[in-house]
């Protein structure tokens, strides 16, 4: 049960990660080496599939959430003002409302970097959009990022993928609408079922190291193979590349963001925890993508904006 015993594995992992630099300094004085990066990664892997938090989904441009550096799909808000957010009981929403025009300290876990960071948020209703934070969140189990990542390979001219602005070999599809798809097969079913409908995708760029939203309309009649007109790859060889800032500073495992950042919230209905993804035996690549047709009674249908049918409420 998440959060049982009063000290979750997330809290334990964070505590161990914070202790690593101090341990490294002590060992350095004695002439001993220490790989703080690998130890921290091992501690943080305990969080994946075991701990809950509020996954950041949509972030409005110029909102307090964007100013806070919150990243769609990959960020989970796990602690607020020292309280572990392991239950969807309305506590977080109340805290946001109570801190309107004030400050709210949060801890964010990122499933890409496997690191936590802290920032100060200032909920307000004067930033020019809806909600106090301008963010859509969902209470969810921390999901392994490789389970819902597809790398965009070749992008063919005059195809839906080209029109949508895919960047070949640099873009990674993370999410379809509100849905973290479970591997390439489920992604293919969703795309096939939504042919000739706009579909909203969340895409990570290896160039900018940011997640952006784009809309694509699958179309079998575009003039080439498949309904997207691009190749996609799954598996170890097509996983998200390590962030450049992490490569530059392996001795600083838990970077803390600058304080004085703002946020505002819209809640989406919590989803049932997904089953663990089976380990991939070998890298898998799909060309085209030529994906099997999905039965109409099984594939999820997305609305006109590409989001799965979900209820949302403003905080």
What's the first-to-final CA gap in the chain, in angstroms? 27
- Walk along the chain (315 residues) and give the pLDDT tens digit of each residue: 444 443 455 565 445 444 433 333 333 343 333 445 566 666 677 888 899 999 999 999 989 999 899 999 999 999 999 999 999 999 999 999 999 999 999 999 999 999 999 988 889 999 999 999 999 999 999 999 999 999 999 999 999 999 999 999 999 999 999 899 999 999 999 999 999 999 999 999 999 999 999 999 999 999 999 999 999 999 999 999 998 875 554 444 443 333 333 333 444 433 333 333 333 333 333 333 433 333 434 444 444 343 333 333 344
Closest CA to 110 of 236, 179, 13: 13
Angle at 183 between CA 179 and CA 187, to 5 degrees: 55
Could you tell me which residues are beta bridge partners of residue 151?
172, 233
81: left (phi over 0), alpha (psi -120 to 50) or beta: left
Residues recorded for the chain: 315
- The H or E element spanning position 266 is strand 264-268
- What is the rounded distance in angstroms from the CA atom of residue 291 to the CA atom of residue 191? 9
- What is the rounded distance in angstroms from the CA atom of residue 270 to the CA atom of residue 140? 6
């Amino acid at each position: 049960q998440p959060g049982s015993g009063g000290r979750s594995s997330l809290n334990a992992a964070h505590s161990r990660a914070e202790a690593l630099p101090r341990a490294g300094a002590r060992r350095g004085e004695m002439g001993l080496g220490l790989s703080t990066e690998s130890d921290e990664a091992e501690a943080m892997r305990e969080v994946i599939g075991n701990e809950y938090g509020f996954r950041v989904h949509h972030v409005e441009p110029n909102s307090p959430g964007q100013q806070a550096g919150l990243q769609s799909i990959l960020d989970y808000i796990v602690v607020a003002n020292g309280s572990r957010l392991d239950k969807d009981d309305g506590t977080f929403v109340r805290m946001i409302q109570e801190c309107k025009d004030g400050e709210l300290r949060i801890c964010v876990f990122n499933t890409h970097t496997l690191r936590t960071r802290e920032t100060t948020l200032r909920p307000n209703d004067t930033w020019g959009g809806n909600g106090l934070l301008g963010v859509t969140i969902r209470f969810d189990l921390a999901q392994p990022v490789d389970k819902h990542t597809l790398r965009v390979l070749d992008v063919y001219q005059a195809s839906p993928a080209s029109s949508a602005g895919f960047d070949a070999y640099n873009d990674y599809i993370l999410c379809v609408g509100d849905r973290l798809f479970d591997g390439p097969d489920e992604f293919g079913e969703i795309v096939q079922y939504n042919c000739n409908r706009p579909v909203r995708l969340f895409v990570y760029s290896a160039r900018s190291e940011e997640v952006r939203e784009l809309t694509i309309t699958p179309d079998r009649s575009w003039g080439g193979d498949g309904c997207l007109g691009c190749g996609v790859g799954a598996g170890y060889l097509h996983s998200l590349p390590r962030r450049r800032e992490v490569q530059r500073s392996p001795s600083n495992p838990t970077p803390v963001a600058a304080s004085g950042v703002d946020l505002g919230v819209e809640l989406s209905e919590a989803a049932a925890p997904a089953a663990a993804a089976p380990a991939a035996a070998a890298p898998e690549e799909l060309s085209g993508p030529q994906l099997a047709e999905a039965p109409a009674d099984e594939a999820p249908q997305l609305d006109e904006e590409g989001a799965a049918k979900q209820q949302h409420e403003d905080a």
